[in-house]
Copies of this chain bind each other. A is one copy, B any other.
Amino acid sequence: MDSAQVSQTRQNYQFSREQMEGVMKRRFFYAPSFEIYGGISGLYDYGPAGCAFQANVIDEWRKHFVLEENMLEVDCSMLTPHTVLKTSGHVDKFSDWMCKDLKSGEIFRADHLIEQVLQNRLTEHKRICNQHERDNPKLLEGQKTTKGKNGLLFKELTEEEIEDYENILARIDGFSGEDLGNIMIKYNIRNPVTFEPLQPPTAFNLMFETAIGPSGQLKGFLRPETAQGQFLNFNKLLDFNSGKVPFASASIGKSFRNEISPRAGLLRVREFLMAEIEHFLDPLDKTHPKFKTVADLKVPLLHRSAQESGETTPIIMTLGQAVRMKMIDNETLGYFMGRIYQFLIKVGADPKKLRFRQHLDTEMAHYAADCWDTELKTSYGWIECVGCADRSAYDLTVHSKKSNEKMVVKQMLPSPVEITRWEIDINRKLFGPRFRKDSKIIETALLKSTQKELQKYASSLLKDGSFAITVPGFTEEFSIDSELVTIEKKKKLEHVREYVPNVIEPSFGIGRIIYSIFEHSFWVRPEDSARGVLSFPPLVAPTKVLIVPLSNNKDLIPITTKVSEALKSIKIPFKIDDSGVSIGKRYARNDELGTPFGITIDFDSLKDESVTLRERDSTKQIRGSISDIIQSIKDISYNNISWEDSTKSLKIFQS
């Protein structure tokens, strides 16, 4: 087969999740954690092949982002005290909506339940229509009912209902708890098995809680994202970068979400590997010097207003154009979208199953300026695998305020700038005696006043001769009169500009990416339907080479050793299969592990030290010296050279 035929055969394969999961399980790519104890939903272990694949994806991520862009990688604690996540907003807002069935005690995640039920009704509707069309074409609308798989009656839907359902499904990520509750009442959504009514949605915080230290008094959580650790270290990172902005930090590590009822395998889990970048930049300048390197990349974009009008087909557009027309908010956001696209294709995502979806206004955090999810299409639908958000100055601002640690960038101005500011002068001779032991804390509070507050105080002083302020730790207000302070507008020359940087955050769910690539890579040869093939790019394949001695004849051992030593010396991961089974079976077994190359050692190898190289997808074979063959493997796996180019000087082999 040539590569066109391979791609045709792969396209013809009708994906079966069952078939792929069979391979994943049989070859231990991953499995439910604690399976011998019955397993726990939402927790999975990666076996040797899955773990090596994950390590290779991470390694490439580090090269593609951290090394290429000189990012500052950090590794921060997962255990996180309450204060940090209270300040970031997670304690109050990081929740999903759950509904309880009081009778059975079962708990549902409201948006997922609505999605499932409405999808079901739409599917049943189609089935009923088709059936009645055949059986009894004269029935009136509304008279058509049928029993679903669970014995419940399904009714044909009106056109209005269909439109409502589709509208809800398109916007399902943007509803509040109240919205979800209203939808459930309006469309009579209940426990889909028992048909019992459910309690209205209540918020369930998704963080795992624990206590730090022996007294049990310090409440903590497992981090729900790696981002907070990066924000808290901002000053140290800025310092490490000699005070220069823009720069990016990055972090690879596990995060945790106590999902309400995780299904969908690796796609919705309670413990997951993330890779996150926080790119800190000047809010007044969101251009990117390397944007031109991705500006001509054509990508599928499903923008906000398209979704609002129920559209689900993305438009194909260059990133340059999308930024120019402000569909994508700024160059840096666009640059990262381009880099994300390149990365995902490199590690094996199918470009035809990739799209960028912009967040709806209702979906986005209130502080975010723009946010695009990179979604990969799987048998579970379109899955958010990377988020790319402009978080503005939100995180640094809230942490700075709460911790009293200034987190700003100082920029020398090319020429000084005259600015006008409200300033406060305190008459210390009177101030101390008046407030005695409290004077210090009141003074601090006064000096921390914002420009807006000072303006208000000044006008109060003018009108009433005094103003009132509240001070942390005191319930009563303090009255400050014009004897104690002077507040005036003053002109000043500033030489340094101080600002809180904004943050662009590309955030990768590694497990979701890996699972999607598994689906995108899987196919079955028409001639061998019992076994699958995983067409991973050689770069990320768990093992690069299978060495196959033709038989277990002792004479073949020295050459087998020679080949394996040669591979070991240049650190190419390989396995040897010297089991007794047929060559074909050994290769087929290994296609399931996604190993791109096979080296066969036969009795001709003894004569001239030549060996055969087999390519996984096309099953093409060529013959050459050990060193030529290994050079080809190295070039294709790591140096981005094609099979055709790298093997053109070698002989085609027919066995």
Rounded to whole Å, the gap between the CB of A90 and the closest CB of chain B is 14
- What is the bound-complex CA distance between A78 and B46, given in angstroms? 12
Q: Which of A190-217 contact B (CB under 8 A)?
A: 204, 208-215
Rounded to whole Å, the gap between the CB of A204 and the closest CB of chain B is 5
Q: Which of A65-79 contact B (CB under 8 A)?
A: 67, 70, 72-79
- What is the bound-complex CA distance between A98 and B242, given in angstroms? 45
Stretch of A37-45, A131-139, A152-160, A379-387 with 4 or more beta carbons under 8 angstroms from chain B: A37-45
List residues of chain B with CB within 8 A of the CB of A48: 72-74, 237, 240
List residues of chain B with CB within 8 A of the CB of A213: 41, 258, 260
* In the assembled complex, A358 has its CB within 8 A of some CB on chain B: no
- What is the bound-complex CA distance between A579 and B261, given in angstroms? 54
- What is the bound-complex CA distance between A403 and B35, given in angstroms? 10
* In the assembled complex, A357 has its CB within 8 A of some CB on chain B: no
User: Is B107 in contact with A215, judged by CB distance below 8 angstroms?
Assistant: yes
Q: Which of A430-470 contact B (CB under 8 A)?
A: none
Stretch of A11-19, A80-88, A490-498, A611-619 with 4 or more beta carbons under 8 angstroms from chain B: A80-88
Nearest neighbor of A52 in chain B, beta-carbon distance? B73
Rounded to whole Å, the gap between the CB of A140 and the closest CB of chain B is 44
User: Is B63 in contact with A258, judged by CB distance below 8 angstroms?
Assistant: no
List residues of chain B with CB within 8 A of the CB of A50: 75
Stretch of A26-34, A172-180, A296-304, A417-425 with 4 or more beta carbons under 8 angstroms from chain B: A26-34
Other-chain residue from B36, B256, B399, B568 in contact with A403 (beta carbon distance below 8 A): B36
User: Is A210 in contact with B233, judged by CB distance below 8 angstroms?
Assistant: no
List residues of chain B with CB within 8 A of the CB of A403: 36-37
Range of interface residues on A (Cβ < 8 Å): 35 or more
Q: A31-B233, A232-B36, A571-B63 are in contact. Are A77 and B43 (CB under 8 A)?
A: yes
User: Is B76 in contact with A45, judged by CB distance below 8 angstroms?
Assistant: yes
- What is the bound-complex CA distance between A229 and B256, given in angstroms? 18
User: Is B84 in contact with A233, judged by CB distance below 8 angstroms?
Assistant: no
Nearest neighbor of A249 in chain B, beta-carbon distance? B48
- What is the bound-complex CA distance between A617 and B235, given in angstroms? 31
* In the assembled complex, A405 has its CB within 8 A of some CB on chain B: yes
Nearest neighbor of A273 in chain B, beta-carbon distance? B75
Q: Which of A288-341 contact B (CB under 8 A)?
A: none
Q: Which of A226-245 contact B (CB under 8 A)?
A: 229, 232-233, 235-237, 239-240, 242
User: Is A81 in contact with B37, judged by CB distance below 8 angstroms?
Assistant: yes
User: Is A35 in contact with B232, judged by CB distance below 8 angstroms?
Assistant: yes
List residues of chain B with CB within 8 A of the CB of A74: 45-48, 51
* In the assembled complex, A105 has its CB within 8 A of some CB on chain B: yes
Rounded to whole Å, the gap between the CB of A15 and the closest CB of chain B is 25
Rounded to whole Å, the gap between the CB of A223 and the closest CB of chain B is 10
User: Is A45 in contact with B77, judged by CB distance below 8 angstroms?
Assistant: yes
User: Is B77 in contact with A33, judged by CB distance below 8 angstroms?
Assistant: yes
Rounded to whole Å, the gap between the CB of A565 and the closest CB of chain B is 12
Q: A33-B77, A51-B75, A78-B271 are in contact. Are A229 and B45 (CB under 8 A)?
A: yes
* In the assembled complex, A254 has its CB within 8 A of some CB on chain B: yes
Some 7 contacts from A to B, beta carbons below 8 A apart, are A34-B84, A41-B213, A47-B72, A47-B233, A50-B75, A51-B73, A54-B75
Chain A positions near chain B (C-beta within 8 angstroms): 27-28, 31, 33-37, 40-41, 43-48, 50-52, 54-55, 62-63, 67, 70, 72-81, 83-84, 98, 105, 107, 204, 208-215, 218, 220, 222, 229, 232-233, 235-237, 239-240, 242, 253-254, 256, 258, 260-261, 270-271, 399, 402-403, 405, 568, 571, 573, 575, 579
